[in-house]
Amino acid sequence: MEKLIIEFREKIKNQIIYIKQLSSEDKYFRLDEYVKSTLNLISQLSNLLNDEKDKRKYDTIWNNLDYTLDRKVKYAKRAFEEARKKNAPLVRESEYRTKLHEAIKMVEFELTEFRD
């Protein structure tokens, strides 16, 4: 059981690494996919735990990350779609970079529990 918990924590750490590597220069918007995958891993991890205190901690992390997905990540995705439209002004591209950076920082903040 402990080995499985460590494995899930490592998978989440790997997701954080992938998220940090995202760039506004990427052709596709993938932050939402990584966040959803991370939410799934946190949910599975929480289900493995027997200790109620640990379950509550991971449930809180899940709730906060889900809120961030609904707010910051979706705003960044909308900005990405606007910036990628044909003849979009440079302002939209700049706005997208800013919103993506904010969303990534917020996701990292929500996942501080999993940092080394």
HEC letters along 58-70:
HHHHHHHHHHHHH
Q: Where are the domains of the chain?
A: 2-114
- Count other C-beta atoms under 10 Å from residue 82's C-beta: 15
Tokens found for residue 5 = 């918990």
pTM over 0.95: no
- Per-residue pLDDT tens over the stretch 38-74: 999 999 999 998 889 999 999 999 999 999 999 999 9
Helices (H) and strands (E) in the chain, counts: 5, 0
Residue among 12, 30, 10 at smallest CA distance from 108: 12
pLDDT in tens, 79-91: 999 988 878 888 8
